């Protein structure tokens, strides 16, 4: 597979994609070693619920005990952002996984068989794509009742159609190739043709690009959590931690930036997480763009 | 094909989409009990006290298709239910909040388009040089930014650190009182426009002061998007034969880039106007929420958080219809702008 070697070499040459890889790698490390980096206190039942140090509303400044300080309701910010990394990966991987599987199945059916099946599936995608995504997601979360699960369902519902369409388009291109005809000619079943010949030739680029959309999914989930439609109160979630700071944007007179840590730190985690995936995605887009193809 | 028959064909194609959209929205409401659903039909607060009567009136205990028919009948006559968040019918609430959101859009859209197109053009003209790399990094940053967080940080600096310089909400309290008093005529409910029509300088300045941060928050993501799109469209255009001709006959590079290449590169950018609209509607929810800029997005947020199903579904339906229509208009414009695109969809 000289294609893969070429791709890896291109990625290594580009400082932006290297930065993306390093950022993602750091987040993976944080997620894996969360229990070591921010140990769950003794007797605290659910590690994903941020431990509280009292119930006072006012955030407290960073100290030795709370490296990043505490936010509204005395939730420890450091613990929250570290375990929030796990929540982010969880949401991103689950949603992208489901969306890709659904998109793959429906997209291949539509693209390979064409005709009525294609028509039905494409009209179905039209319906879902008729809504601005975040607004439809909000409506779905509100209808299902706010929770992290509802957020994941909502994001899946709003994002599968674009993947189904992308994959269908790829398959339409490959379907007419001679080797597909040849394979059918020697009596291969539809299933075998799709699995062995169409998919491997049609969708790797799409799959690579799509898996990099994790950043976008996490960003959307964080936005919903920020709006108060996501994780339950106290759950380690970057969007929610950001929303806790909403009442503390302006500090007391004479020290207006007093609560900067509560406002900025959770958002910086979101920013860098998404940035990592987008940096990598941008590099891939250049490599895969046929107009900029290697000569 | 004639333009008229093209439009008619497109309008007919809209029917199955809108049918599907309404079935989908109505399907979501079926997750709720008849009592909860009744608020979708109420148009008057007095009816809220007697929901049993509403259930019987609209047949909420009937089979799905009967209920769907009743509901569609109501929707088509403009009855989207009762918005308990603001205590008025959903349809009225949409019109009540629309001017505020429109005001944000009026300021944000031209900025997005002009700066996006300008920087996209420059990036392509300076491909692989510092300007190109700079705008690329800026764009990736731009669409990685959590806008809700950007809004908070902007407020922290421009409202907190520079005490009260650029405050949240739409107008400061004295101006709000003035605007709602008898001496100020509210022609459009768009504050800046009304201030100009009333020849009232202070209100205009105050309104603009409140608009700066929300507009910045709203434009970042879309601007990055348009900029990148414009860049790749420009690169394609710059590689065409007519550019070679233009250069060969000795035209200055500025003319080649800004006239010959850019005008052709703008056409693909036009096709994403629909996505721009959808992105703005998404962005408006977040922006208006952070800045308590009480427009349609703020109302949608309030409805979602307080689980006001009638409002949030009415809003989603309204958006879907609008989005579909915007896309239709864009497609029709496209056939006008680019003579190469023939109405059947084939390029000759």
What is the ipTM, given to two decimal places?
Answer: 0.88
The rounded distance, in Å, linking the Cα atoms of B188 and A201 is 57
Which residues in A lie closer than 8 A to residue B285 (C-beta atoms)? 134-135, 138, 227
The rounded distance, in Å, linking the Cα atoms of B150 and B156 is 10
Which two structure tokens, joined as six digits, stand for B72? 């569609």
Instruction: Identify the residue whose tokens are 């990394």.
Output: A85
The rounded distance, in Å, linking the Cα atoms of B40 and A278 is 41
Which residues in B lie closer than 8 A to residue A223 (C-beta atoms)? 146-148, 286
The alpha-carbon gap from A64 to the nearest alpha carbon of chain B, in Å, equals 25
The answer to whether the CB atoms of A139 and B236 lie below 8 A apart is no
Q: Are A251 and A219 in contact (CB under 8 A)?
A: no
Beta-carbon count within 10 A of A38 CB? 22
The rounded distance, in Å, linking the Cα atoms of B300 and B85 is 10
Which two structure tokens, joined as six digits, stand for B247? 């250069």
Q: Are A11 and A21 in contact (CB under 8 A)?
A: yes
pLDDT for B347: 42
Beta-carbon count within 10 A of A164 CB? 27
Give A75's contacts (C-beta < 8 A, 6+ positions apart): A50, A51, A52, A234, A241, A244
Full pLDDT tens readout for chain B, 348 residues: 577 888 888 888 888 888 999 999 988 888 887 877 777 777 777 777 777 788 887 778 788 888 888 888 888 888 888 888 888 899 999 999 999 999 999 999 999 999 999 999 999 999 889 999 999 999 999 989 999 999 999 999 999 888 888 898 888 888 888 888 888 888 888 888 888 998 888 999 999 999 999 999 999 999 999 998 999 899 888 888 899 999 999 999 888 998 889 988 888 888 888 889 999 999 999 999 999 999 999 999 999 998 888 889 889 999 999 999 998 888 888 877 776 665 554 443
Q: Are A123 and B16 in contact (CB under 8 A)?
A: yes
Beta strands at B82-83 and B88-89: parallel, antiparallel or unpaired: antiparallel
Instruction: Identify the residue whose tokens are 């030795």.
Output: A64
Best of A135, A153, A295 to mutate (most B CBs within 10 Å, chain B): A135
Q: Are B317 and A139 in contact (CB under 8 A)?
A: no
Nearest to B335 by CA among B265, B266, B271: B271
The answer to whether the CB atoms of A229 and B159 lie below 8 A apart is no
pLDDT for A125: 93
Which residues in A lie closer than 8 A to residue B20 (C-beta atoms)? 123-124, 126-127, 130
Q: What is the average pLDDT value for chain A, to the nearest integer? A: 87
The rounded distance, in Å, linking the Cα atoms of A30 and A33 is 5
Nearest Cβ partner of B301 from A128, A144, A227?
A227
pLDDT for A295: 36
Best of A125, A128, A130 to mutate (most B CBs within 10 Å, chain B): A130
Distances (CA, A) of B5 to B2, B10, B19, B218, B326: 5, 8, 22, 38, 19
Chains A and B: how many Cβ contacts under 8 Å? 164
Give B193's contacts (C-beta < 8 A, 6+ positions apart): B103, B187
Nearest Cβ partner of B149 from A132, A251, A270?
A270
pLDDT < 50 positions in chain A: 1, 291-295
The alpha-carbon gap from B152 to the nearest alpha carbon of chain A, in Å, equals 7
Nearest Cβ partner of B316 from A123, A126, A131?
A131
Q: Is the dihedral of CA B55, B56, B61, B65 positive or negative?
A: negative
Best of A119, A139, A222 to mutate (most B CBs within 10 Å, chain B): A139
The alpha-carbon gap from B203 to the nearest alpha carbon of chain A, in Å, equals 25
Best of A120, A134, A233 to mutate (most B CBs within 10 Å, chain B): A134
Which residues in A lie closer than 8 A to residue B279 (C-beta atoms)? 132
Give A180's contacts (C-beta < 8 A, 6+ positions apart): A174, A193, A197, A198
> Closest chain A residue to B145 measured between Cα atoms?
A271
Q: Are A62 and A247 in contact (CB under 8 A)?
A: no
Helix axes B309-337, B273-290, angle to 10 degrees: 150
> Closest chain A residue to B292 measured between Cα atoms?
A246
The answer to whether the CB atoms of A250 and B160 lie below 8 A apart is yes
Residues belonging to chain A: 295
Nearest to A125 by CA among A89, A96, A164: A164
Which residues in A lie closer than 8 A to residue B141 (C-beta atoms)? 275
Nearest to A224 by CA among A295, A129, A137, A163: A137
């Amino acid at each position: 597979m000289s294609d893969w070697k070429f791709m890896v070499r291109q990625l290594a040459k580009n400082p932006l994609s290297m930065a993306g890889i390093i950022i993602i790698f750091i987040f993976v490390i944080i997620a894996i070693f969360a229990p070591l980096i921010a140990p769950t206190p003794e007797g605290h039942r659910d590690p994903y619920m941020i431990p509280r140090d009292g119930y006072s509303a006012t955030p407290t400044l960073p100290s030795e005990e709370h490296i990043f300080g505490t936010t509204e309701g005395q939730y420890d910010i450091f613990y929250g952002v570290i375990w929030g990394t796990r929540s982010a990966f969880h949401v991103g991987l689950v949603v992208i996984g489901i969306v890709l599987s659904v998109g793959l199945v429906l997209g291949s059916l539509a693209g390979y068989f064409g005709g009525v099946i294609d028509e039905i599936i494409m009209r179905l995608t039209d319906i879902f794509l008729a809504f601005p995504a975040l607004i439809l997601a909000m409506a779905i979360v509100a209808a299902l009742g706010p929770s992290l699960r509802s957020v994941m369902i909502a994001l899946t519902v709003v994002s599968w159609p674009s993947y189904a369409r992308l994959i269908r388009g790829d398959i339409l291109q490959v379907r007419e190739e001679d080797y597909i005809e040849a394979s059918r000619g020697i009596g291969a079943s539809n299933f075998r043709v799709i699995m062995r010949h169409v998919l491997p030739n049609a969708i790797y680029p799409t799959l690579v690009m799509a898996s990099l959309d994790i950043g976008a999914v996490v960003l959307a989930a964080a936005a919903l959590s920020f709006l108060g439609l996501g994780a339950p109160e106290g759950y380690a979630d970057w969007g929610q931690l950001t929303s806790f700071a909403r009442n503390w944007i302006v500090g007391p007179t004479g020290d207006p930036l007093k609560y900067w840590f509560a406002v900025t730190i959770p958002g910086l985690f979101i920013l860098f997480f998404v940035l990592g995936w987008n940096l990598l995605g941008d590099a891939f887009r250049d490599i895969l763009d046929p107009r900029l193809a290697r000569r | 094909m004639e333009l008229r028959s093209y439009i008619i064909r497109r309008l007919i194609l809209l029917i199955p989409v809108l049918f599907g959209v309404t079935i989908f929205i109505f399907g979501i409401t079926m997750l709720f009990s008849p009592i909860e659903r009744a608020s979708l039909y109420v148009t008057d607060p007095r009816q809220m006290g007697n929901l049993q009567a509403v259930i019987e009136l609209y047949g909420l205990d009937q089979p799905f298709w009967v209920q769907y028919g009743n509901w569609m009948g109501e929707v088509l006559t403009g009855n989207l239910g009762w918005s308990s968040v603001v205590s008025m019918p959903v349809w009225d609430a949409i019109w009540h909040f629309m001017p505020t959101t429109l005001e944000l859009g009026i300021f944000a859209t031209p900025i997005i388009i002009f700066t996006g197109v300008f920087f996209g053009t420059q990036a392509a003209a300076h491909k692989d040089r510092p300007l190109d790399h700079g705008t690329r990094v800026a764009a990736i940053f731009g669409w990685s930014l959590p806008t809700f967080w950007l809004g908070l940080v902007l407020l922290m600096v421009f409202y907190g650190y520079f005490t009260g310089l650029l405050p949240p909400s739409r107008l400061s309290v004295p101006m709000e009182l003035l605007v709602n008093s008898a001496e100020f005529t509210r022609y459009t409910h768009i504050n800046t426009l009304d201030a100009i029509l009333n020849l009232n300088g202070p209100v205009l300045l105050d309104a603009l002061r409140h608009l700066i941060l929300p507009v910045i928050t709203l434009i970042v993501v879309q601007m990055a998007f348009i900029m990148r799109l414009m860049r790749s469209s420009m690169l394609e255009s710059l590689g065409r034969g007519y550019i070679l001709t233009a250069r060969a006959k000795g035209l200055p590079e500025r003319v080649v880039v800004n006239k010959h290449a850019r005008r052709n590169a703008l056409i693909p950018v036009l096709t994403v106007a629909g996505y721009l609209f959808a992105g703005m509607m998404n962005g408006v929810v977040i922006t208006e929420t952070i800045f308590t800029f009480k427009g349609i997005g703020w109302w949608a947020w309030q409805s979602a958080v307080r689980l006001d199903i009638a409002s949030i579904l009415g809003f989603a339906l309204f958006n879907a219809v609008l989005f579909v229509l915007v896309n239709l208009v864009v497609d029709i414009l496209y056939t006008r702008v680019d003579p190469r695109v023939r109405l059947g969809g084939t390029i000759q």
